Amino acid sequence: MILAFAVHDTEENQRTSITRRCLLSLRDTTDLAKYRLFFIDNNSCQETKDLLLEFQKHNPCTIITNEENIGTAEAINKAWKYRYPGEHCMKIDNDVVWHQYGWVELMAECLHRDKEIGIIGLKRKDCWERPTHLEADYRSELQMIPQKPGEKWLVVEKAKHIIGTCQMYNSALLDKMGYLYQPSLYGYDDVMASWRSQLAGFKNVFLPQIEIDHIDNGGTPYQSWKEKHSGEYTQQVIKEVNEYIAGTKSIYYTPFLPEYDPYTGEKNPYLNEV
């Protein structure tokens, strides 16, 4: 299993303290020796670079350093590039804390027992999805995970969109969709991945019983910039999602080789080198 974090802390956005809280929570709730942990540093400030190096002294992990901010999706892709055949991958933001030990194992158990799950995510407390929501886009469905005698009962929440704070991707889905894609530095990679997953024949679910907190309260110039920046691409995202649905745009994306889309057999139109 790959656990990948994209990090972009600067002196202006002052997120080093948020990253520190995330790392401490990760250390206290996860057996890191069981997984392959990657931090992809999008040209963070020296304080965060030092923080990551100090964490690496005491915990097994790999740090990939970029000379500029290449965005969330392409940063995560640099870690997922090292995926082994059949290996699940996680995309995790560096502004989340967990309140239960063994959350990675529980997410992985859901994928193991229900092969139809493409993306499973932990549910933030500000998500709108619920079974009784009046709007269809936010109406979810509680489902039992297949169970054999002696196995614990597990319930997941099927939804259209799994927010990208803490997501696990089924290796079978990654074989069909490739890597994360977003048209800008921030935003919509989770929306587009959720659509790609459904169109590849999978379902997307939350594991709501694992409590997490999103610890970036926003209200900062940096948050305002991210919202404005991603908002400028909303119409492009709608257009591309409609192309996925119509079948005129392949759901498979890779910034790396191979040259041909293994899902459609067609030449990959996004082929480039990162």
Q: In this structure, which amino acid lies at residue 222? A: Y
What are the tens digits of pLDDT across the range 88-98?
Answer: 999 999 999 99
Q: Tell me the domain boundaries of the chain.
A: 2-246
Q: The pTM is what? A: 0.91
Q: What angle do CA 125, 77, 98 make, to 5 degrees?
A: 25
Task: Show the low-confidence residues of the chain (pLDDT under 50).
Answer: 271-274
pLDDT tens, position by position, 149-195: 999 999 999 999 999 999 999 999 999 999 999 998 888 999 999 99
DSSP letter at 136 equals G
d(CA 130, CA 160): 11
What class does CATH assign to 2-246?
alpha beta
Q: Give 64: exposed, middle or buried? Use CB within 10 Å, 0-12, 13-18, 19+.
A: middle
